[in-house]
Structure 1
Amino acid sequence: MAAAAVLLVAPAAVACGDDSGGGGESDPPKPSAAKSTKDVPSDDATATATTTGSAPTDPAVAEKQVKKNWEKFFDPAVSMKEKEAVLENGPKMRAVLKSFSGDERGKQVGAQVDKVGFTSATEADVTYALTLKGATALPDASGTSVNQDDTWKVSVKTLCALVKLSGNESPGPGC
């Protein structure tokens, strides 16, 4: 099942965005060993959190937005436009989203965020489980979220790392 979840992003590899996408020079996120049992809050994900210093001004509000937007991005019922709004450089990554959403397996994928840890006022480490048809396919995965335009978004770096997990070592410009 994990292999099937990883393979769902393979069609996205060819159209991974343009050269101005983020995260091309740093190491991609790796699955982590730790797993939290925290519940996912049901509060509104559109609330913004002002950021200053090494963490958001209101970490609780920011954490809720990270979780909600992360799960929205991986929700098969969410429209392309909504997914684009919660992906770093969303408009520039439109081709990846179209490919991802057009794949039959992509329509069966979800994510459950377990933990959010802020590393700066505009970045957070996210521990999550990727699911396929509701069953956990990639547990304890880790990625990053970035605050862009006062919205916490799934990072391009995370999406590109998933594409690379599919076996495509050269996913294309932007990755």
Structure 2
Amino acid sequence: MRLTSLRQTVVACCLVALTGTSIVGCSSSGDSASPTTSAAASAATSAAAKSDSTSSAADTKAVTDTYVTFFDGKTPAATRAGLVEKGAAFQQALDGMAVNPQATGTSVTVAEVKLSDTSHADVKYTLLLNGTPVLPDQSGQAVKDAGQWKVAAATFCALLAIQSGGQTTAC
């Protein structure tokens, strides 16, 4: 998964390098690349890397915020439905959790978010009940749906399966 992000960065750098080479190859002088052309290519590479880094940081924050809000037992069911992939299918389960006193004490801490690509991420998290870890070091996923990061349906289904002994209608 990390390789995909690395591969995208390498491809972006190669495209910038190829663009710089094409510009130099089309020049009328027989000299090698001028410092100005090399500096422009270097600046473009740095800008692309900075853009990827900024995007990654923003996506990591968005995924973390989604997980924290979704797993907060005090978040209204309707809001939670908007934060999980295929939320309408889970509405009944989310409504049931909203009135369950034990479920209202849940929260989550996110330890790590690794972007697989622009619309998928792997998430390491710990589910808490009244501040006490009950499911530590879990692996989950997030998906970007219509421009918004959401908890992947598969992640929520895995937790519902634990809660209901594997009998879930939405999954």
Deviating runs (4+, > 3 A) in structure 1?
A: none
User: Which whole-Å deviations, capped at 9, do the CAs of 1:18-74 have from their partners, x for residues lacking one?
Assistant: xxxxxxxxxxxxxxxxxxxxxxxxxxxxxxxxxxxxx89811101100000110001
Counterpart selection for 1:69 from 61, 66, 84: 66
- 1:155 and 2:152 matched: yes
Identify if the C-alpha distance between structure 1 residues 56 and 93 changes in structure 2 by more than 3 Å, giving closer, same or farther.
farther
- Are the equivalent residues in 2 in contact too, given 1:56–1:62 (CA < 8 A)? no
Counterpart in the other structure of 2:75: 78
- 1:131 and 2:122 matched: no
Counterpart selection for 1:144 from 117, 141, 144: 141
- 1:109 and 2:106 matched: yes
The structure with the greater share of residues assigned to helix is 2
- Are the equivalent residues in 2 in contact too, given 1:56–1:120 (CA < 8 A)? no
User: Which whole-Å deviations, capped at 9, do the CAs of 1:105-145 have from their partners, x for residues lacking one?
Assistant: 11111001110011222111110010000111111011110
Please give the TM-score of this superposition, normalised by the length of structure 2: 0.65
Q: What amino acid maps onto 2:110 in structure 1? A: V
Q: What amino acid maps onto 2:60 in structure 1? A: E
- Are the equivalent residues in 1 in contact too, given 2:66–2:151 (CA < 8 A)? yes
- 2:119 and 2:88 map into 1 onto residues whose CA distance is 20
TM-align CA RMSD: 1.9
User: Which whole-Å deviations, capped at 9, do the CAs of 1:74-120 have from their partners, x for residues lacking one?
Assistant: 11222222211211121232112112222221111100111001122
- 1:93 and 2:90 matched: yes
Q: Per chain length, whose mean CA-contact separation is higher, i.e. which structure has more relative contact order (CA < 8 Å, sep 6+)?
A: 1
- Are the equivalent residues in 1 in contact too, given 2:78–2:91 (CA < 8 A)? no
Q: Which has the larger radius of gyration?
A: 2
- 1:121 and 2:118 matched: yes
Aligned residue pairs total 120
- Are the equivalent residues in 2 in contact too, given 1:116–1:124 (CA < 8 A)? yes
